[in-house]
Amino acid sequence: MSDFTTRDLDALFEALVTKMAEERDHLCRLDGVIGDADHGIAMLQGMTAARDAVVALPEGTLQDKLNAAAKGFLNAVGASSGPLYATAFLRAGKAAGPRAAMPREETPALVAAMAEGIAHRGKAQVGQKTMFDAWAPAAEAAGSDGPLPERLSRIARAAEAGAQGTADLVAQLGRAARLGDRSLGHPDPGAVSAAMIVATMARHFEDPA
Amino acid sequence: MSDFTTRDLDALFEALVTKMAEERDHLCRLDGVIGDADHGIAMLQGMTAARDAVVALPEGTLQDKLNAAAKGFLNAVGASSGPLYATAFLRAGKAAGPRAAMPREETPALVAAMAEGIAHRGKAQVGQKTMFDAWAPAAEAAGSDGPLPERLSRIARAAEAGAQGTADLVAQLGRAARLGDRSLGHPDPGAVSAAMIVATMARHFEDPA
Amino acid sequence: MKKILNTPADYVDEMLDGLVAAYPEFYRLHGDSHRVVARAQAGRAGKVGIVSGGGSGHLPIFTGYVGTGLLDACAIGDVFASPSSEQMADAIRAADQGAGVLRLYGNYGGDVMNFDMAGDLVEFDDIRCTTVLLADDVASAAPEEREKRRGVAGMVYAFKIAGAAAEAGQDLDAVTRVAQKAADAVRSVGAALSSCTVPQAGRPTFDIAEDEMEMGMGIHGEPGVWRNKLRPADAIAGEMMDRLLADMPVGQGDRVSVLVNSLGATPPEELYILYRVVKARLEGAGASIVMPLVGRYATSMEMAGVSFTLLKLDEELEGLLRAPCDCAFWRVG
Amino acid sequence: MKKILNTPADYVDEMLDGLVAAYPEFYRLHGDSHRVVARAQAGRAGKVGIVSGGGSGHLPIFTGYVGTGLLDACAIGDVFASPSSEQMADAIRAADQGAGVLRLYGNYGGDVMNFDMAGDLVEFDDIRCTTVLLADDVASAAPEEREKRRGVAGMVYAFKIAGAAAEAGQDLDAVTRVAQKAADAVRSVGAALSSCTVPQAGRPTFDIAEDEMEMGMGIHGEPGVWRNKLRPADAIAGEMMDRLLADMPVGQGDRVSVLVNSLGATPPEELYILYRVVKARLEGAGASIVMPLVGRYATSMEMAGVSFTLLKLDEELEGLLRAPCDCAFWRVG
Ligand SMILES: Nc1ncnc2c1ncn2[C@@H]1O[C@H](COP(=O)(O)OP(=O)(O)O)[C@@H](O)[C@H]1O
Ligand SMILES: Nc1ncnc2c1ncn2[C@@H]1O[C@H](COP(=O)(O)OP(=O)(O)O)[C@@H](O)[C@H]1O
Ligand SMILES: [Mg+2]
Ligand SMILES: [Mg+2]
Ligand SMILES: [Mg+2]
Ligand SMILES: [Mg+2]
């Protein structure tokens, strides 16, 4: 099995930008219902800046590039998702370490590290109707056993299920928390974008061979 | 022929209040078209205060009572008509003089005095589409010869014709002046109320005998 | 009617009660008409008094500018209505410290007649009065008919300058002269985006579409020079500067002050956007800006819109403009 | 959209350009993000720095309160949006005079995370940071969940008090303690009559009928406690005082300051009408009012509505409240 290299990381960020560009309006609409309608803008701006920072470091290690992604995302975004994803990328960088490539078997640890970063920054717990409700089950699935492709698809499915499940939750963090019961029935935009990100990562972590 | 007494003056002011109460809304509507829609309010408030001041001085001379009317009108009214009619009544008081009664033959002089007061205070000239366009022809008619009843009806008709004629004038003084040509076709509210006042005065100056 | 009030008839009286309750160190009600506001501490004996007056609904104009280095007293009418002559006479009496009183107010017919009448009333009290009228709104009459123009935000500068001269101990003729000099050196123009509602009327004074503005409109909604689609900030500022500078050219080496004023609802954020253009235009013409004022200095309650006022300075006016003043709405020095 | 602007995307940058152009003696842009405003003259070396930050559209909050005896620097986001962590970190760097920096701002999720992150960023610069959050809006969560409440106009008092302590030479822990004390002693409640329009959104943030008001609404249009027909001024003021006093009782001998604040379009005339009731209620309870503030201190652009903020004083807080301060929007002493 080939390693996950800094080239692969570049490609992953390209794919994240493409996905966010496709989903921008959809995410804004979701945020419009229970938030302030800017989540798609924030995610696209953030991922674009992260991608630019990542490809601007052709000689950097995985950690260098993920640190740069964090900084890029952070500077580009004023919304809550800015510090949340910046912290997530910093943690992922630490998990990847100062190397030019990592064994693909270890890539699920990046998902777990990002989830930790988000929980740390947002002081979020499961069930509060945030992006953490997608990241937390994904991180749990990342710790499961089995062949990599299965683990990766379990991770993606867990994030997706978590995101869908937020529709049944009452928001307790972020802007939507002001709505109380009125947030019921609507999925959390941050969780929906999180599931997209996790799925994209899972696809890129698989061995292309 | 009986004299015009302070009792007659009381009755005149009662009649002016009655007339202004009847015409209040009509005058406001006229003022609404080319001014600020308060002329009826101002005239009713002013005349009411003037009447109250006049009847509160049972022992006063004609001049005392007209001076009191001036002060009452002035204090009650913030609009342009306040100082205009206050000055008019002061001049009428001076014309009537410090006596308890005056010959009815002399009463047209009160109309002329009021017109002078208005011209003085408002620096108005004929043709500028103001109340002076009713008062000025009334004053001129007051100077005409002939038996009193004829002079009085000439005075009233002159004021009425002057008021009607303001519809064909472009306003050059007061709020309506801002409108330029747009004031054409609408009579001046101050001239309309002036014609009513002149007519009421003319009726009360006639010998009841 | 989106207004916070009890009954329209009490609007002005309750407003004045609250004003003096909030700022007893600045204001007090004088006499018993309940419509005359005077300085909490009267000016020095022998100081020339300065009074103004006019309709309510323009705070800080008029009442707000009662204070040190500004007005001594003010008569205040109903919303957009003249106070009565008797109230003006009371204000003149409150302002008098034995050195005579300057009547300094806007060129509106009702106000003029009432203030003249008030002058007649106080002749019995042996108070010498002079008058300076502000007629700064360039949109309200052609330059050949300047005496017909209405007075708007330019009053703020006139209050400041006359107030400083009086505070400095100048006599009535000198204060009157410098007030007239300020009145002659000031030009304003306004643009409205929305109406306000006079409490007693209960509905907006004028109708204007959601995407329209009116250039040159007066502060009571008097007709302007054009009504059209709302333009970009830089275009609005550019046209307003054009109109001012056409009426009173400004050139190399001139020193000017400028007031970028909100009519009420327009937030300061938008004034700053406009100020960029104002500054560029004046400095581009070679002039220096002295003590720019950006904020709410002369309003029409919740009307949206702005006015610009330009004051051309000489050494005397600049000194008086920079002199200290103090009231609840404005402090210099 | 009844706003004077060029393009929505430039609203904040042009606003800040105009602000520093109008008041170069107070403000300057720091760094190259164009979104950090610092004092024109930095505070004394060794003075504790105070930074705040948050979305644009609330002038004088936040940026306006950069000044002597107030804030040292401020990071400012788009309208109603958090500034980025990097901008906040820049503001912290601008504020630092070697004695550490207090981050003093409102309890909004995005702002909290970004400011925390900014703290992480400046750890490399060896700047010690502390944090005090304002959570003064009693309508935004029950007393048992005070930590969830959002920060509104109470910030003005916190800026003033922390700023005075820092100016007086207190160290970071002392400034932080007194800021926290102020934050604990302040309660606010707001009522909105109309929405404002975020330039980038182009339409009103919320819809509200011509004759309705919403009690307890937040400054971005966050849901309140009830929406109903507009009530008379005295009833509105009475209910707002009830809500404040239920949360923080005030009694015989207490000394309090109170801020009667317009959210933007509501004119000062109406604030004075309300202030009558506020004063009567507080004095009726036996309290004395210290330095009442009536005006526009924390706004939401052209939103119509008001907020009341109550600050309960002890000797220390009163001394700091009365200490001098100076910025383009507020001056004490
Ligand atoms: N404290 C938090 N912890 C984790 N996620 C959060 C937190 N606060 C908000 N979020 C997430 O951020 C999303 C909103 O992001 P975004 O719209 O970009 O920011 P903002 O709400 O500041 O406009 C929410 O849908 C939620 O998933
Ligand atoms: N300078 C003036 N001289 C004579 N009459 C005047 C003058 N200015 C206004 N008027 C008269 O006053 C009338 C308006 O009175 P009113 O509505 O009571 O006052 P305001 O215009 O102040 O509201 C006008 O219709 C006009 O007849
Ligand atoms: Mg959002
Ligand atoms: Mg947002
Ligand atoms: Mg009228
Ligand atoms: Mg009127």
What DSSP string describes C242-299?
Answer: HHHHHHS---TT-EEEEEEEE-BSS-HHHHHHHHHHHHHHHHHTT-EE-S-EEE-SS-
How many Å lie between the centroid of ligand 5 and the Cα of residue C168?
Answer: 40
Q: Which residues contact D49 (CB under 8 A, 6 or more apart)?
A: D43, D72, D73, D92, D94, D95, D96, D97, D99, D100, D101, D102, D166
What is the least distance, in Å, from the CA of C22 to any CA of chain B? 27
Nearest CA in chain D to A172: D148
SS3 for chain D, per residue?
A: CCCCCCCHHHHHHHHHHHHHHHCCCCEEECCCCCCEEEECCCCCCCCCEEEEEEEECCCCCCHHHECECCECEEEEEEECCCCCHHHHHHHHHHHCCCCCEEEEEECCHHHHHHHHHHHHHHHCCCCCEEEEEECCEHHHCCHHHHHHCCCCCHHHHHHHHHHHHHHCCCCHHHHHHHHHHHHHCEEEEEEECCCCECCCCCCECCCCCCCEEEECCCCCCCCCCEEEECCCHHHHHHHHHHHHHHHCCCCCCCEEEEEEEECECCCHHHHHHHHHHHHHHHHHCCCEECCCEEECCCCCCCECEEEEEEEEECHHHHHHHHCCEECCCCEEC
| Element housing C305 (H / E) | strand C305-313
Banded model confidence at residue A37, pLDDT cuts 50, 70, 90: confident
* Interchain CB distance below 8 Å, C14 and D296: no
Report which DSSP code applies to C82: P
Q: What is the pLDDT of residues B112-162, one digit of tens each?
A: 999 999 999 999 999 999 999 999 999 999 999 999 999 999 999 999 999
- Ligand 1 interacting residues, C-beta cut-off 6 A: A 31, 35-36, 38-39, 42, 79-81, 84, 118, 122-124, 130-132, 173-175, 188-191; D 109-110
| Element housing C212 (H / E) | strand C212-215
Q: Give the torsion sign (CA, B69, B74, B76, B77).
A: positive
Per-position DSSP letters for B112-171, written without gaps between them: HHHHHHHHHHHT--TTSSSTHHHHHHHHHHHT--S-HHHHHHHHHHHHHHHHHHGGGS--
The packing angle between helices B189-205 and B108-122, to 10°, is 160
Name the residue facing D82 among A71, A79, A179 (closest C-beta). A79
Q: For position B207, what pLDDT does the model report? A: 85
How many Å lie between the centroid of ligand 5 and the Cα of residue B43?
Answer: 10
Closest to C27 in 3D by CA, of C74, C69, C59, C89: C74
Q: Which domains does chain B have, with CATH numbers?
A: 3-206 (1.25.40.340)
Q: Which residues contact C322 (CB under 8 A, 6 or more apart)?
A: C290, C291, C332, C333
Q: What is the pLDDT of residues A141-153, one digit of tens each?
A: 999 999 999 999 9
Name the residue facing D84 among A78, A175, A178 (closest C-beta). A78
**Average per-residue pLDDT for chain B:** 95
Q: For position D214, what pLDDT does the model report? A: 96
Name the residue facing D193 among C2, C11, C274 (closest C-beta). C2
pLDDT at B176 > cutoff 80: no
Substitution target in C3, C59, C273 with the highest count of D β-carbons within 10 Å is: C273
Question: Is beta strand D73-79 parallel, antiparallel or unpaired with respect to D36-39?
Answer: antiparallel
Q: For position D78, what pLDDT does the model report? A: 92
Q: What is the pLDDT of residues C135-194, one digit of tens each?
A: 999 999 999 999 999 999 999 999 999 999 999 999 999 999 999 999 999 999 999 999
Report which DSSP code applies to B207: -
Q: List the structure tokens of D216.
A: 């307890």
Substitution target in D10, D78, D200, D273 with the highest count of C β-carbons within 10 Å is: D273
| Burial (Cβ within 10 Å: 0-12, 13-18, ≥19) of residue B168 | exposed
How many Å lie between the centroid of ligand 5 and the Cα of residue B82?
Answer: 11
pLDDT at A155 > cutoff 70: yes
Q: For position B180, what pLDDT does the model report? A: 76
Residues, CB-to-ion distance under 5 Å, ligand 5? B 31, 35-36, 38-39
Q: Which residues contact A48 (CB under 8 A, 6 or more apart)?
A: A17, A20, A76
Considering every ligand atom shown, identify the ligand nearest to the alpha carbon of residue C110 and give its number.
2
Q: Give the torsion sign (CA, C298, C302, C303, C305).
A: positive
Report which DSSP code applies to C159: H
Any idea how long chain C is?
Answer: 333
pLDDT at C92 > cutoff 70: yes
Domain ranges of chain D: 13-184+322-332, 186-314
Contacts of C78 in chain B (CB under 8 A): 78
Give the atom of ligand 2 at the shortest distance from the alpha carbon of B31: 17
Within an 8 Å CB–CB cutoff, is residue D245 touching chain C? no
Q: What is the pLDDT of residues A190-203, one digit of tens each?
A: 999 999 999 999 99
CATH match for C186-314 among 3.40.640.10, 3.30.1180.20, 3.10.105.10, 3.30.360.10: 3.30.1180.20
Considering every ligand atom shown, identify the ligand nearest to the alpha carbon of residue A77 and give its number.
1
Max distance between CA atoms of chain A, in angstroms, equals 50
Q: For position D222, what pLDDT does the model report? A: 85
* Interchain CB distance below 8 Å, B79 and C223: no
Nearest CA in chain B to C222: B178
Q: For position D1, what pLDDT does the model report? A: 66
pLDDT at C1 > cutoff 70: no
Q: Which fold has domain C13-184+322-332?
A: Rossmann fold (3.40.50)
Q: What is the pLDDT of residues C15-66, one digit of tens each?
A: 999 999 999 999 999 999 999 999 999 999 999 999 999 999 999 999 999 9
Nearest CA in chain A to D224: A178
Question: What is d(CA A158, CA A169) in angstroms, rounded to the nearest whole number?
Answer: 17
Least confident of A66-80, B86-100, D163-177: A66-80
Q: Distances in Å between the alpha carbon of A202 and those of A105, D53, D299, D324?
A: 12, 38, 46, 59
Q: For position C37, what pLDDT does the model report? A: 98
Question: What is d(CA A133, CA A194) in angstroms, rounded to the nearest whole number?
Answer: 9
Per residue of chain D (333 residues), what is the pLDDT tens digit? 689 999 999 999 999 999 999 999 999 999 999 999 999 999 999 999 999 999 999 999 999 999 999 999 999 999 998 999 999 999 999 999 999 999 999 999 889 999 999 998 898 889 999 999 999 999 999 999 999 999 999 999 999 999 999 999 999 999 999 999 999 999 999 999 999 999 988 888 889 999 999 999 999 988 889 999 999 999 999 999 999 999 999 999 999 999 999 999 999 999 999 999 999 999 999 999 999 999 999 999 999 999 999 999 999 999 999 999 999 999 999
Angle at Cα D173 formed by Cα D169 and Cα D176, nearest 5°? 90
- Ligand 2 interacting residues, C-beta cut-off 6 A: B 31, 35-36, 38-39, 42, 79-81, 84, 118, 122-124, 130-132, 173-175, 188-191; C 109-110
Contacts of B122 in chain C (CB under 8 A): 109, 113
Q: Distances in Å between the alpha carbon of C81 and those of A163, C220, C319?
A: 62, 10, 34
Contacts of C109 in chain B (CB under 8 A): 80, 122, 173-175
SS3 for chain A, per residue?
A: CCCEEHHHHHHHHHHHHHHHHHHHHHHHHHHHHHCCCCHHHHHHHHHHHHHHHHHCCCCCCHHHHHHHHHHHHHHHCCCCHHHHHHHHHHHHHHHHCCCCEECHHHCHHHHHHHHHHHHHHHCCCCCCCCCHHHHHHHHHHHCCCCCHHHHHHHHHHHHHHHHHHHHHCCCCCCHHHHHHHHHCCCCCHHHHHHHHHHHHHHHHHCCCC
Tell me the best of A131, A164, A192 to mutate to test the pocket of ligand 1, counting ligand atoms within 8 Å of each CB and taking the most.
A131
